[in-house]
Amino acid sequence: MGNKIKGKDLLKIGYPNNNSINIAMGQISRYGKKEKKERLLSDARLVLETPEQFKGHPVWGKIAEALIEPVKVQQQQLNTTRAPFRIFGEHEIEDSAKYQMFEALKLPVSVKGALMPDAHSGYGLPIGGVLATDNAVIPYGVGVDIGCRMCLSIYPIPAAYLRSHSYQLTQILSEHTKFGMYEVHKNKGESEVFERPEFREIPLLKSLFSKAHRQLGTSGSGNHFVEFGIVSIEELNNPWKIQPGEYLGLLSHSGSRALGSNIARHYTYLAAKQCPLPRQVQHLAWLDVNSHDGQEYWIAMNLAGDYAQACHDDIHRRITRLLGTQAIAKIAHHHNFAWKELVDGKECIVHRKGATPAGAGEIGIIPGSLTAPGFVVMGLGNEDSLHSASHGAGRLMSRSQCKNKLTKSQVQKHLVAHEVTLIGGGIDEAPMAYKDIERVMANQQELVKIIAKFTPKIARMDK
């Protein structure tokens, strides 16, 4: 069996007595357990003889890289000065989030940064942090919920339908949306994303395929939601040429489920081993984009983003069919992702952790809270924000603070006062836990232009 191979076996077939032995043993232990020893040694000999032919191979590629040009592992030190940055709504942001951003800007790979007005502290980059790096991708700069995304469908149904059919709409959300770790649809949806070769070729993704398929069309816990609301359009000069008025809308917020979280954990572990950092910034370990692991993370991240999109598409397809209509507009975007973009004329990796892409003319959605409106916006392409905007109102109170300071009765009274029906949802997602969305929007007038408003009325969250 594969786990019977020892380092001396690799030395006997000619492997150099260096770190390539450790890498080979690690790959064989992880992915070769079901293979016979003779077969593994034969393959290992081929890699040794022609490593160039195995570059990019899902199992042997990392060993080939170690034989050709091994990744240099060295203790990284922070710069004494920060990369250029800009904070939007600085006086509304907690100090801990600013300090996290300041430390990230000292990374030797950092090129430029920005902090959005909804920012608050998180792991690695703060939520609402945008960071451009030179040829480096930071798994925790993307976040655990890779490809977390907003999606809004606007229907040719007047907003009055919400009041006259509130019971039916509540039942639709209760019976046809799934949340949390265990709820899945009995009638599985399908998506072209499952035909992607990455699911067959990369061992980690192959091991996650079945669960990803089961979770298609479901939403996570925490602040993830699916909700009906009123879309208010005031001007005919909108991207969809919809007549001004109030329409029924469906807004969803969720990400890549277990697929994304497992990808994040796996490649964060690899990054931490290859890129030792001072303790206060250890979550900001990066992978060289040109390395085997960096390339593989990039592929996996993009797959997770496409899977998150497929989940939203499935949610909206199911509910649209039940409404017996078709959407007249659909808007969607990621806010936990990394993109290759030009920054001051240089190609960089731009991480947006809890930040909305807001390039010139780009359409996005910035939600408020359960009782506060969200906004459909058009990006203004502000270079100081790295073409970004906030991804929501941002937390004012932590989850533990909510549990200590608020009661279910208080939350329920607040929902009733705003005529909002909530299915599920914990006290840690109380509307009072979030910043004033109007103030957040006022702090980013140079980043986005508001083109429509979404007012939530019936929402479903995890129990």
Give exposure, 26-62, as e/b (b: 16+ Cβ within 10 Å).
ebbeebbeebebeebbebbeebbeebeebeebbbbbb
Supply the pLDDT for residue 33: 76
CATH value at residue 210: 3.90.1860.10
Out of 37, 68, 99, a domain closes at 68
| Domain identity same for 55 and 185 | no
Residue 163 belongs to a domain: yes
Q: Where are the alpha helices (DSSP H) in 370-407?
A: 399-405
Domain annotation covers residue 401? yes
193 and 292 share a domain?
A: yes
Position 30 scores a pLDDT of: 83
Cβ proximity of 226 and 458 under 8 Å = no
Whether 284 is covered by a domain: the verdict is yes
Predicted TM-score (pTM) of the model is 0.93
Q: Do residues 255 and 145 touch, judged by C-beta distance below 8 A?
A: yes
pLDDT 10s per residue in the chain (463 long)?
A: 345 789 999 999 999 998 889 999 988 888 887 788 899 999 999 999 999 999 999 889 999 999 998 888 888 999 999 999 999 999 999 999 999 999 999 999 999 999 999 999 988 899 999 999 999 999 999 999 999 999 999 999 999 999 999 999 999 999 999 999 999 999 989 999 999 999 999 999 999 999 999 999 999 999 999 999 999 999 998 999 999 999 999 999 999 999 999 999 999 999 999 999 999 999 999 999 999 999 999 999 999 999 999 999 999 999 999 999 999 999 999 999 999 999 999 999 999 999 999 999 999 999 999 999 999 999 999 999 999 999 999 999 999 999 999 999 999 999 999 999 999 999 999 999 999 999 999 999 999 999 999 999 999 999 8
102: in domain: no
Rounded distance, CA 39 to CA 55, Å? 20
Tell whether 430 is covered by a domain: yes
What pLDDT is stored for residue 108 in this prediction? Answer: 97
Does one domain contain both 181 and 50?
no
Q: Which tokens sit at 295? A: 């390339």
Question: Within this chain, do residues 53 and 184 fall inside the same structural domain, yes or no?
Answer: no
**Whole-angstrom distance, CA of residue 376 vs CA of residue 297:** 31
Q: Taking the alpha carbons of 4, 9, 11, 13 in that order, is the dihedral positive or negative?
A: negative
Q: Which of 17, 37, 68 is the last residue before a domain boundary?
A: 68
pLDDT at residue 273, as a whole number: 92
- Whether 62 and 155 map to the same domain: the answer is no
Q: Which of 50, 68, 86 is the last residue of a domain?
A: 68
Q: 271 with 139: CB under 8 angstroms?
A: yes
Q: What is the dihedral sign for C-alpha 221, 226, 229, 233?
A: positive
Structural domain total, the chain = 2
What is the chain's Cα-based Rg? 24
Residues 260 and 354 in one domain: yes
Mapped onto helix, strand or coil, the DSSP state of residue 360 is coil
Ordered DSSP codes for 165-217: THHHHHHHHHHH--BTTT---SS----GGGG-THHHHSHHHHHHHHHHHHTTT
User: What is the per-residue pLDDT for 222?
Assistant: 92
Q: Is residue 87 part of a domain?
A: no
Tell me which residue range forms the domain holding 30.
2-68
Q: What is the rounded distance in angstroms from the CA atom of residue 174 to the CA atom of residue 176?
A: 6
Specify if 380 maps to a domain. yes
Could you tell me if 437 and 393 are in contact, meaning their C-beta atoms sit under 8 angstroms apart?
yes
- The pLDDT assigned to 2 comes to 40
What span, in angstroms and rounded, lies between the C-alpha atoms of 343 and 150? 25
In a domain, 33, yes or no: yes
Q: Are residues 61 and 162 in the same domain?
A: no
